[in-house]
């Protein structure tokens, strides 16, 4: 499954957040036989539609989609030069599908900032610069070999051209993700460049900032089009010790309407370019993770490869139509249940029953 790699300068609250992510015990509860790597934190994607489906179908249980975050040791200035965590760190980021940077906004005299000042956007810049420098190095190192191979192989010639184009963008201080429309993504793939990955920013803030809409809008705008999440990592850790009612009270006291981990799950899912479809029955109501743009057979394959191979058609009703109708029979009577074939592109909130032959 796809993962977001958590990065950030030292002392910004990465461990605090990561502990909250690993302690919410989603996998242990729902997937008892899953093996969880120690550096992976999993959160459920909150989805109120599942509750309604479980009601309509009298489902015994609910299985939401999940989002996985991988803890990657702290980045320090000069990481691209092999200082600090250096190479291991960069290797770990390469394996993640998106980069989630925790940024310190909270001010606390007892917690030292590596650069001696609280300046979230400067911190964002530090990490971005390190990743850009690392990509420039990767390209510089690969080019001589690629250019030699390109004389014999036309495909490699395309990679060379794409790498040079990418180099110019990086030299201008831009990430390749921000220049998506200008690069040849497929030709660059084999270089595993880091700044092609989507970014997500988690601003770790206290109540003062969490309740300051202007300040949040300013930070949000500065990192757009990347997603921004605002939370208080320390509060998130405390929430897990409380029952739902006390947790909501604590959240409200810091100006939040939902747990930060919920917002984080949603933003992480969006950043990875994922969406869900739903299945429901007496056993379970469940969300399945697919990529945006996936066709029906591909989506069926998420449940079982045989579903994809033997795909015939899909019986689909949108959640909102089913919700309004109140039952599958009523939705059918109202003409809201469609049969879709193998070219159908899945829409968010499709409630599906697959028809396949084995």
The alpha-helical segments, DSSP class H, found in the chain are 14-23, 26-30, 48-57, 86-95, 120-150, 154-171, 185-188, 207-210, 213-223, 233-239, 244-253, 260-271, 296-301, 305-309, 319-325, 328-333
Nearest CB to ligand GDP, comparing residues 15 and 92: 15
- Residue 20 or 53: the one with the smaller Cβ distance to ligand GDP is 20
* Residue whose entry in the numeric block shows the structure tokens 């990490």: 127
**Is 115 an interacting residue with respect to ligand GDP (CB under 6 A)?**
no
CB of 132 to ligand GDP, least distance (A): 22
Q: Is 295 annotated as a binding residue?
A: no
Q: Does 59 bind ligand GDP (CB under 6 A)?
A: no
Supply 304's token pair: 């079982």
Measured CA to CA, the distance from residue 301 to residue 356 in angstroms comes to 11
16 annotated as belonging to a binding site for a ligand: yes
| Separation between Cα atoms, residue 243 and residue 277, nearest integer Å | 30
Q: Quick check: 108 binds ligand GDP (CB under 6 A)?
A: yes
* Residue 234 lies near ligand GDP (rule: CB under 6 A): yes
Omega before 225 within 30 of 0, i.e. cis = yes
State how far the Cα of 305 lies from the Cα of 308, in Å rounded to an integer.
5
Binding segment (CB under 6 A) for ligand GDP, from list 123-131, 134-142, 226-234, 253-261: 226-234
Are residues 305 and 319 in contact, defined by beta-carbon separation less than 8 angstroms? no
Q: Does 106 bind ligand GDP (CB under 6 A)?
A: yes
d(CA 119, CA 103): 9
**Chosen residue from 13, 64, 268, 349 binding ligand GDP by CB under 6 A:** 13
Which listed range, 3-11, 60-68, 241-249, 284-292, lies at the site for ligand GDP (CB under 6 A)?
3-11
Taking the CB of residue 261, how many other CB atoms lie within 10 A of it? 26
Least separation in angstroms between CB 256 and ligand GDP: 12
Residue 84, interface with ligand GDP (CB under 6 A)? no
**Nearer to ligand GDP among residue 91 and residue 111 (C-beta):** 111
Residue 176, C-beta contacts closer than 8 angstroms, at least 6 positions apart: 135, 166, 169, 170, 183, 188, 193, 195, 196
End-to-end CA distance of the chain: 26
8 binds ligand GDP (CB under 6 A): yes
Q: Is 11 among the residues that bind ligand GDP (CB under 6 A)?
A: yes
**Interacting residue with ligand GDP among 44, 135, 232, 321 (CB under 6 A):** 232
Q: Which is nearer to ligand GDP, 85 or 150 (CB)?
A: 85
Residues 22, 159, 195, 204: which binds ligand GDP (CB under 6 A)?
A: 204
Cβ nearer to ligand GDP, comparing 78 with 186: 78
**12 has binding-site annotation:** yes
> What residues between 271 and 330 interact with ligand GDP by CB under 6 A?
none
**For ligand GDP, which is the closer residue by CB, 115 or 140?**
115
Give the shortest CB-83-to-ligand GDP separation in angstroms. 17
β 3-7/98-104 pair status? parallel
Are residues 284 and 332 in contact, defined by beta-carbon separation less than 8 angstroms? no
What's 73's DSSP letter? P
Is 13 annotated in a binding site? The answer is yes
With contact defined as beta carbons under 8 Å apart, do 175 and 194 qualify? no
Check the annotation: does 15 bind a ligand: yes
Where along the sequence are the contacts to ligand GDP (CB under 6 A)?
8, 10-16, 74, 106, 108, 111, 204, 206, 232-234
Annotated binding-site positions for ATP: 11-16
């Amino acid at each position: 499954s796809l993962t977001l790699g958590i990065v950030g300068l030292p002392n910004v609250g990465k461990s605090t957040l990561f502990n909250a992510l690993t302690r919410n015990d989603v996998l242990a509860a729902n997937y008892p036989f899953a093996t969880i790597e120690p550096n992976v934190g999993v959160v459920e994607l909150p989805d109120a539609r599942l509750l309604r489906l479980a009601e309509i179908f009298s489902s015994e249980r609910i299985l939401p989609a999940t989002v996985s975050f991988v803890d990657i040791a702290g980045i320090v200035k000069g990481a691209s030069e092999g200082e600090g965590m250096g190479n291991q760190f960069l290797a770990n980021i390469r394996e993640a599908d998106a980069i989630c940077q925790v940024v310190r906004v909270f001010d606390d005299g007892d917690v030292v900032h590596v650069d001696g000042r609280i300046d979230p956007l400067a911190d964002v810049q530090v990490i971005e610069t390190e990743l850009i420098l690392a990509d420039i190095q990767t390209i510089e190192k690969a080019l001589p070999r690629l250019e030699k191979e390109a004389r014999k192989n036309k495909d490699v010639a395309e990679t060379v051209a794409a790498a040079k184009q990418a180099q110019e963008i990086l030299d201008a201080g831009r990430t390749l993700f921000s220049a998506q429309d200008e690069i040849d993504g497929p030709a660059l793939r084999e270089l595993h460049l880091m700044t092609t990955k989507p970014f997500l920013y988690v601003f770790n803030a206290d109540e003062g900032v969490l309740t300051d809409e202007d300040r949040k809008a300013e930070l949000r705008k500065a990192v757009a089009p990347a997603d921004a999440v605002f939370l208080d990592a320390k509060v998130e850790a405390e929430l897990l010790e409380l029952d739902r009612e006390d947790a909501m009270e604590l959240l409200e006291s810091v100006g939040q309407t939902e747990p930060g981990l919920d917002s984080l799950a949603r933003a992480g899912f969006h950043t990875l370019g994922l969406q869900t479809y739903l299945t429901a029955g007496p056993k379970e109501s469940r969300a399945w993770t697919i990529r945006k743009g996936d066709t029906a057979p591909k989506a069926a394959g998420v449940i079982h490869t045989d579903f994809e191979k033997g795909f015939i058609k899909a019986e689909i009703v949108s959640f909102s139509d089913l919700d309004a109708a109140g039952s599958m029979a009523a939705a059918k009577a109202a003409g809201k249940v469609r049969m879709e074939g193998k070219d159908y592109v899945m829409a968010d909130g499709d409630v599906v029953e697959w028809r396949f032959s084995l």
